[in-house]
């Protein structure tokens, strides 16, 4: 019995082996051609969207619409429901205009402003037939008359948005239907304003007249005021000023006010080189004791002591007056009521005062990283070229309207209502500010990439122009004819060759697209390093000092000589060291080469010459004394070793967290000249989002007081040399 079982087991194992071998042979003999990957990553299609809304009273009457987005259940975000918000804001505008219930077909007002027409009020069928097919007509009609009934019958049902939005306004007794639309017969149009309420027809008639009069007398100039930039600041924020200007112009802006006074000369220099039509100026906040005041238009800001806690508001106002500038105050600040200002700093919370008090105002557009800045529209006399004076005159004369998020507006009633009525039309404003053409520009190394996007439902043909300063040469025609099919984009590439004068500068490059009588402009920047990059101050030990030199090749050559000369500090004509090397670097690239300087102890100047440029460095050389050391130690007990380097003069601690020097101890003083608290932590260590603000890890950040580096990233470290004449850690 046992023997039989053993034999059976052997047979079974043998049979299994045969099956396995057969299966392997079978699989290896098949092709993988019929196996397909069937799960492409469709992020948007795999989201779950839930729409919701609120219509009612909280602290005020409001209508809100949003979407909850889920991906994999746990990724969640909330976004506005765009279609509903647009329609709701149109409804809000009609309420502010005093015609709640008004609906206007988009393009209605634009057509009236561009076409000639004959006005008829409550005409008969016979009167219309007299002009039928010969003239454009603007008809004001009672919707209860037979002609009014027949004309409104041509419209689709108006219940759609009422049922979707469910706004509280629909329940108001002020909601009275008024419709503005147009009918077409070949090339002729019939513009119709229809309502059973004569007083509403009169309000619409007045608004149309005001818009027509305003557009005939004024040009509209869109701009940003109080735009932030970190160009001259240690504060972390997005955007080079020229890139910000480019984004502003893509929005249709032709003026901009930065909140950085040190930009004044830069802007004049940059924009003057490319003859840009945009007007730019700067302003500044008043300082610590100025209660939130801001000033613009000053001739000079050098004497403004913003960081001085003892500076009084009287001094700030006096400064603005002496510099021929304008100073604005918050609407609510009782400590300022006894002083004379040029106007208010406006925000939506003070819309009531901005709209109704006869006081000039300005807004703060803020930064642009992840938001669209609020804008202002100025109304300036027709056909006048925009200047700084005209810009400020319009603001001080209350010919300005602020446009905030979701199209909310504030400003004097006449100009505000004109803009609101035009926004209901949409088409006129898009044409006026050239919104349907977008220019995207990028410069990478020496290549300018321009992408033109046409969002029109029709073909657009025009001329693309590239405008460069004299320091830059374009290796292509600066203008070219472009044809853009409907709803399409086209990308063009240009090679830019910089000259020596372009190096170590920010060079503006303007891009313009002209079609019909319209023009879209934008701006980008080609930031170039110096030709020669060296340490401006070095210290080493005799007899050899490694002196690195980096050369940025702006030319068309691939090889060029680099000369290093060393002079005694007190004998500038006495060359004690000289060397010449050929360096290889492709055009637009850079290369670093080290020179070994054989120098005695002393103080020297090094002059580096390459590609028509030169740079000076100061060098100190000492005699070798003492014995340097390097070792690892975990000083703060976090499991991450620090690196301690010392010689007879100093003791330095390198922190892998943030790759910084945390201690620099001068031995003869026994004093750490950097942050004193480390390795202890501050009392605020556990505050929410603490690491997004200044966190005292030491080194350069202590002087900045800003979270300007990768403070909390753990860097790799490697000891390069731990004994000898020097020690080094990488």
Output the DSSP codes for 474-523: ESS-SEEEEEE-TTEEEEEEEEEEE-GGGTTSEEEEEEEEEETTEEEEEE
- What letter would DSSP give residue 670? T
pLDDT tens for 393-416 read: 999 999 999 999 999 999 999 999
Q: Is residue 277 very low, low, confident or very high in pLDDT (cuts 50, 70, 90)?
A: confident
Per-residue pLDDT, averaged over 441-447, amounts to: 93
219 three-state secondary structure: strand
Q: Is residue 711 very low, low, confident or very high in pLDDT (cuts 50, 70, 90)?
A: low
Lowest mean pLDDT among 23-27, 96-100, 244-248, 321-325: 23-27
Q: Is the pLDDT of residue 5 over 50?
A: no
Which percentage of the chain shows pLDDT scores above 70? 92
Between helices 241-250 and 264-274, what is the axis angle to 10°?
60
pLDDT of 232: 84
Give the span between the Cα atoms of 609 and 424, in whole angstroms. 64
Per-residue pLDDT, averaged over 246-269, amounts to: 95
Between helices 413-425 and 82-96, what is the axis angle to 10°?
140
pLDDT of 245: 96
**Residue 69's closest CA among 86, 81, 53, 84?**
81
Per-residue pLDDT, averaged over 54-78, amounts to: 94
Sequence-ordered list of residues with C-beta below 8 angstroms from that of 683, at least 6 positions apart, any chain: none
Contact (CB, 8 A) for 88 and 80? no
Per-residue pLDDT, averaged over 427-437, amounts to: 97
Question: In terms of DSSP bridges, do strands 294-296 and 137-142 run parallel, antiparallel, or are they unpaired?
Answer: unpaired
Q: Is the pLDDT of residue 716 over 50?
A: yes
**CA–CA–CA angle 68, 72, 76 (5° rounding):** 30
pLDDT of 330: 97
Contact (CB, 8 A) for 378 and 399? yes
Give the span between the Cα atoms of 233 and 638, in whole angstroms. 33
pLDDT of 13: 45
275 three-state secondary structure: coil
Lowest mean pLDDT among 13-27, 189-203, 508-522, 687-701: 13-27
Contact (CB, 8 A) for 321 and 296? no
Q: Is the pLDDT of residue 20 over 50?
A: no
pLDDT of 7: 42
Between helices 198-217 and 413-425, what is the axis angle to 10°?
100
Tokens of 611: 């590609």
pLDDT tens for 461-474 read: 999 999 999 999 99
pLDDT tens for 96-107 read: 999 999 999 999
- What letter would DSSP give residue 234? S
Lowest mean pLDDT among 73-82, 426-435, 699-708, 718-727: 699-708
Q: Is the pLDDT of residue 358 over 50?
A: yes
Question: In terms of DSSP bridges, do strands 361-362 and 343-345 run parallel, antiparallel, or are they unpaired?
Answer: parallel
394 three-state secondary structure: helix
| CATH fold label, 437-527 | Immunoglobulin-like (2.60.40)
pLDDT of 276: 87
Domain 218-432 shares a fold with domain 437-527? no
**CA–CA–CA angle 460, 464, 467 (5° rounding):** 155
Contact (CB, 8 A) for 567 and 604? yes
Query: Which CATH number applies to 218-432?
Result: 3.20.20.140
Question: In terms of DSSP bridges, do strands 326-330 and 188-195 run parallel, antiparallel, or are they unpaired?
Answer: unpaired
Query: Which CATH number applies to 532-622?
Result: 2.60.40.10
pLDDT tens for 174-203 read: 999 999 999 998 889 999 999 999 999 999
pLDDT tens for 216-225 read: 999 999 999 9
Q: Is residue 25 very low, low, confident or very high in pLDDT (cuts 50, 70, 90)?
A: very low
pLDDT of 689: 79
- What does R_g of the chain's alpha carbons equal in angstroms? 36
Q: Is the pLDDT of residue 678 over 80?
A: no
Q: Is the dihedral of CA 450, 453, 459, 461 positive or negative?
A: negative
Neighbours of 590 (CB within 10 A): 15
| Domain locations along the chain | 85-196, 218-432, 437-527, 532-622, 629-729
pLDDT of 706: 54
Q: Strand 671-672: give its sheet, edge to edge.
A: 629-633, 642-646, 650-655, 660-666, 671-672
Beta strands in 110-266 (DSSP E): 118-121, 137-142, 178-185, 188-195, 218-227, 253-258
Q: Is residue 702 very low, low, confident or very high in pLDDT (cuts 50, 70, 90)?
A: low
Tokens of 719: 């000891």
Q: What is the mean pLDDT of the chain?
A: 90
Tokens of 647: 């010689």
Burial 670-697 (b: 16+ CB within 10 A, else e): eebebbeebbeeeeeeeeeeeeeeebbb
pLDDT of 235: 63
Q: Is residue 612 very low, low, confident or very high in pLDDT (cuts 50, 70, 90)?
A: very high
pLDDT tens for 536-552 read: 999 888 888 999 999 99
């Amino acid at each position: 019995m046992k023997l039989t079982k053993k034999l059976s087991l052997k047979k079974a194992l043998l049979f299994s082996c045969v099956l396995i071998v057969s299966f392997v042979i079978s699989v290896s003999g098949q092709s993988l051609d019929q196996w397909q990957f069937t799960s492409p990553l469709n992020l948007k299609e795999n989201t779950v969207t839930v729409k919701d809304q609120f219509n009612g009273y909280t602290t005020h009457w409001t209508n809100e619409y949003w979407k909850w987005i889920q991906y994999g259940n746990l990724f969640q975000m909330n976004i506005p429901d765009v279609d509903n918000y647009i329609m709701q804001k149109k409804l809000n505008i009609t309420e502010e205009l005093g015609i709640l219930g008004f609906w206007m077909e988009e393009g209605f007002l634009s057509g009236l402003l561009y076409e000639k027409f004959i006005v008829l009020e409550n005409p008969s069928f016979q009167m219309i037939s007299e002009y039928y097919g010969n003239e454009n007509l603007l008809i004001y009609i009672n919707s209860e008359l037979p002609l009014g009934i027949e004309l409104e019958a041509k419209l689709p049902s108006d219940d759609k948005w009422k049922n979707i939005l469910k706004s509280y306004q629909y329940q108001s007794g002020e909601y009275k239907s008024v419709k503005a639309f147009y009918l077409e017969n070949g090339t002729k149009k019939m513009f119709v304003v229809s309502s059973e309420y004569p007083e509403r027809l009169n309000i619409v008639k007045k608004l149309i007249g005001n818009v027509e009069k305003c557009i005939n007398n004024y040009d509209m100039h869109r701009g940003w005021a109080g735009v932030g930039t970190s160009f001259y600041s240690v504060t972390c924020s997005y955007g080079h000023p020229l890139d910000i200007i480019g984004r502003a112009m893509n929005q249709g802006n032709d003026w901009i006010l930065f909140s950085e006074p040190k930009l004044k000369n830069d802007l004049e220099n940059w924009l003057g080189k490319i003859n840009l039509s945009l007007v730019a100026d700067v302003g500044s906040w008043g300082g610590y004791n100025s209660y939130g005041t801001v000033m613009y238009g000053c001739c000079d800001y050098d004497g403004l002591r913003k960081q001085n806690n003892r500076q009084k508001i009287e001094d700030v106002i006096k400064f603005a007056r002496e510099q021929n500038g304008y100073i604005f105050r918050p609407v609510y600040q009782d400590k300022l009521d006894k002083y004379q200002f040029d106007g208010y700093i406006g925000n939506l919370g003070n819309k009531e005062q901005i709209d109704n008090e006869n006081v000039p105002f300005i807004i703060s557009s803020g930064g642009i990283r992840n938001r669209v800045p609020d804008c202002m529209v100025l109304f300036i006399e027709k056909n006048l070229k925009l200047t700084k004076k005209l810009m400020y005159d319009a603001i001080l004369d209350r010919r300005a309207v602020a446009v905030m998020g979701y199209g909310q507006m504030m400003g004097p009633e006449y100009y505000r209502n004109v803009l609101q009525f035009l926004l209901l039309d949409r088409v006129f404003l898009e044409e006026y500010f050239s919104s349907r053409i977008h220019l995207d520009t990028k410069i990478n190394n020496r290549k300018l990439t321009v992408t033109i996007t046409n969002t029109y439902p029709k073909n657009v043909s025009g001329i693309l122009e590239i405008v460069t300063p004299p320091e830059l040469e374009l290796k292509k025609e600066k203008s070219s004819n472009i044809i853009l099919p409907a709803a399409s984009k086209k990308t063009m590439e240009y090679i830019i060759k910089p000259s020596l004068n372009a190096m170590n500068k920010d060079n503006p490059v303007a891009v313009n697209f002209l079609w019909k009588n319209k023009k879209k402009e934008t701006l980008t920047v080609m930031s170039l390093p110096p030709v020669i990059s060296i340490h401006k101050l070095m210290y080493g030990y005799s007899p050899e000092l490694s002196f690195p030199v980096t050369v940025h090749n702006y030319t068309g050559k691939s090889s060029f000589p680099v000369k290093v000369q060393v002079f005694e500090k007190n004998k500038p004509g006495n060359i004690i060291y000289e060397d010449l090397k050929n360096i290889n670097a492709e055009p637009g690239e850079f290369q670093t080469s080290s020179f070994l300087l054989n120098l005695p102890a002393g103080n020297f100047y090094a002059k580096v010459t390459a590609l028509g440029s030169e740079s000076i460095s100061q060098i100190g050389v000492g005699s070798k004394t003492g014995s340097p050391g390097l070792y690892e130690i975990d000083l703060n007990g976090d499991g991450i070793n620090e690196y301690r380097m010392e010689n007879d003069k100093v003791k330095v601690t390198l922190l892998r967290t943030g790759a910084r020097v945390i201690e620099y101890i001068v031995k003869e003083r026994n004093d750490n000249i950097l942050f004193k608290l480390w390795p202890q932590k501050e009392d605020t260590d556990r505050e929410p989002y603490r690491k997004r603000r200044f966190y005292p890890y030491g080194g350069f950040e202590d002087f900045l007081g800003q979270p300007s580096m990768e403070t909390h990233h753990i860097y790799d470290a490697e000891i390069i040399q731990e004994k000898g004449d020097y020690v080094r850690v990488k």
